[in-house]
């Protein structure tokens, strides 16, 4: 195999429902000179058989299967195994659009001061229906300011490509972030040694589902995010703002999540998806006024 232009890093754990679609989205990229490095982190479902089948059919896949070690250890193992200087992150439940690798490689090649580039994303539901396309900032200053002020997920891990040598020089992924904010911590540290950016195009589909860490481990993720931002303020010799201490974990229940997805879809013009979640909310939570309000607005189409 020739030296790849890009190494795509995919950690996988119990992802049999989505992993085939994620792998396919990489194998069908417009850029063909890449390697897809996959670490199966001790999956106990049918993931390993799916991955072995793909690895047997495409030589660009390098598959490693071993007992579970967690997200941080797996990401660092992937980073060590990557052969290319440009590495692209890819999670096993998301989808890369066909030109993602090509456009991000071209951007980093033509912007040597940039150490990380992401893109905008379309949020999809567990079945792949579009919920929302978010218009996140694209320039370094706005992104860094937003990350430092906890303005939400401005950079999607599955949309990221960065320079391996720079990430390794600052320590890679750090275990003290409990597998819940290791990516945010890396993004903040990369922004301190070079410029970061988002491409304005939508290059990934980011999947929302009930098993995401933000839903299942909201309290632990909140603490890890707070620590990552506090540490960034300290590294930059800036006083930690008081509001950081007031960040509270919030874990919406299943019914509230369905309504949130319904409002996202309605606000983005995906009326049929909004109606689906409105009816589902009514079926599971018929005595909540918010469910009926969503249904009324979804039936109206606005």
Q: How far is CA 280 from CA 272, 298, 300, in A?
A: 12, 12, 17
State yes or no: pLDDT of 250 exceeds 70.
Answer: no
Residue 216 burial class via C-beta count within 10 angstroms: exposed 0-12, middle 13-18, buried 19 and up: exposed
For the record, the structure tokens of 248 come out as 């509270």
pLDDT score, position 97:
98
Q: What is the CATH topology of the domain spanning 6-235? A: Spore Coat Polysaccharide Biosynthesis Protein SpsA; Chain A (3.90.550)
Interatomic CA distance for residues 30 and 228, integer angstroms: 35
Q: Is the pTM of this model over 0.85?
A: yes
Residues 43-78: tens digit of each pLDDT: 999 999 999 999 999 999 999 999 999 999 999 999
Query: What ranges do the domains of the chain cover?
Result: 6-235, 254-300
pLDDT score, position 222:
86
pLDDT score, position 295:
94
pLDDT score, position 217:
61
DSSP per residue, 8-64: EEEEESS-TTTHHHHHHHHHT-S---EEEEEEEES--SSHHHHHHHHHHH-TTEEEE
pLDDT score, position 223:
87
Residues 190-217: tens digit of each pLDDT: 999 999 999 999 999 999 987 765 555 6
Residues 222-234: tens digit of each pLDDT: 888 999 999 999 9
User: Average per-residue pLDDT in the chain?
Assistant: 93
Mean predicted confidence (pLDDT) in 271-279: 95
The number of beta carbons lying within 10 Å of the beta carbon of residue 113 is: 8
């Amino acid at each position: 195999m020739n030296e790849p232009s890009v190494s795509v890093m995919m950690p996988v754990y119990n992802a049999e429902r989505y992993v085939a679609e994620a792998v396919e989205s990489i194998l069908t990229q417009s850029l063909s000179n890449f390697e897809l490095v996959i670490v199966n982190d001790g999956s106990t479902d049918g993931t390993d058989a799916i991955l072995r089948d793909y690895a047997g059919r495409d030589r660009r896949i390098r598959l490693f299967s071993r007992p579970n070690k967690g997200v941080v250890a797996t990401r660092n193992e992937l980073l060590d195994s990557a052969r290319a200087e440009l590495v692209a992150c890819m999670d096993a439940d998301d989808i890369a659009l066909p030109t993602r690798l090509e456009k991000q490689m071209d951007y980093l090649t033509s912007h040597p001061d940039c150490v990380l580039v992401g893109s905008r994303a379309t949020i999809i539901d567990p079945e792949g229906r579009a919920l929302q396309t978010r218009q996140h900032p694209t320039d370094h200053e706005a992104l860094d300011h937003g990350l430092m002020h906890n303005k939400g997920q401005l950079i999607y891990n599955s949309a990221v490509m960065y320079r391996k040598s720079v990430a390794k020089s600052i320590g890679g992924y750090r275990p003290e972030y409990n597998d819940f904010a290791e990516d945010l911590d890396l993004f903040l540290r990369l922004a301190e040694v070079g410029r970061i950016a988002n491409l304005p195009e939508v290059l990934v589909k980011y999947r929302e589902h009930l098993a995401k860490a933000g839903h299942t481990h909201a309290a632990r993720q909140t603490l890890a995010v707070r620590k990552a931002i506090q540490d960034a303020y300290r590294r930059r010799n800036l006083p930690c703002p008081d509001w950081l201490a007031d960040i509270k974990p919030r874990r919406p229940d299943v019914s509230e999540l369905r309504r949130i997805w319904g409002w996202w879809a309605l606000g983005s013009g995906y009326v049929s998806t909004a109606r689906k979640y409105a009816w589902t909310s009514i079926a599971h939570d018929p005595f909540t006024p918010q469910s009926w309000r969503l249904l009324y607005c979804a039936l109206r189409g606005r």
